[in-house]
Amino acid sequence: MGEKERTFQEILNPLEDKIFTKIPFDFTEIETFFQPVINLSNFEILGYEALTKPLFGKNVDNLFKRAQEHEILFELDLFFRIKALLKASSEGLSSKHLLFLNIHPLALLQELYHQEIFQKSIRQLGFNPEQIVLEITNCQLLEDWEDYLKNIFHLLRLGYKISLDDYGGSSHSYIELTEIKPNFVKIDQFFIMGGLKDAFSKKFIEHILEICQELGITVVIKGVEGREEFLALLDMGVKYYQGNYFGKPVFSLKGGESLEIREYPPQSSHLSYAYF
Q: What is the pLDDT along the chain (276 residues), one digit of tens a residue?
A: 566 666 677 778 888 888 888 886 655 578 899 999 999 988 899 999 999 887 766 678 888 888 888 888 888 899 999 999 999 999 999 999 999 999 988 888 776 656 788 888 898 888 999 999 999 976 665 777 888 888 899 899 999 999 999 887 766 678 888 889 999 999 988 888 766 778 888 898 999 999 999 999 999 999 998 888 888 899 899 999 999 998 889 988 875 555 544 443 333 333 443 433
Q: What is the pLDDT of residue 227?
A: 86
SS3 call for 207: helix
Secondary structure E strands in the chain? 30-39, 44-54, 98-103, 132-136, 161-167, 184-187, 218-222, 240-242, 259-263, 272-275
Q: What is the pLDDT of residue 97?
A: 96
Beta bridge partners of 242: 222
Query: How far is residue 156 from each of residues 132, 183, 270, measured CA to CA in Å?
Result: 11, 9, 36
| Dihedral sign from CA coordinates of 82, 83, 89, 92 | negative
- The CATH code of the domain that includes 263 is 3.20.20.450
Q: What is the pLDDT of residue 55?
A: 76
Query: How far is residue 104 from each of residues 101, 148, 257, measured CA to CA in Å?
Result: 10, 11, 28
Q: How many domains does the chain have?
A: 1
Q: What is the pLDDT of residue 61?
A: 80
Task: Please list, in sequence order, all residues whose beta carbon lies within 8 angstroms of the beta carbon of residue 14, skipping any fewer than 6 positions away.
Answer: none
Q: What is the pLDDT of residue 256?
A: 55
Task: Please list, in sequence order, all residues whose beta carbon lies within 8 angstroms of the beta carbon of residue 50, skipping any fewer than 6 positions away.
Answer: 32, 33, 34, 84, 87, 88, 99, 100, 101, 102
Q: How crowded is residue 117: how many other Cβ atoms within 10 Å of its Cβ?
A: 18
Q: Which domain holds residue 164?
A: 3-275
Cα–Cα distance measured from residue 17 to residue 19, given in angstroms and rounded to the nearest whole number? 6
Cα–Cα distance measured from residue 265 to residue 231, given in angstroms and rounded to the nearest whole number? 13
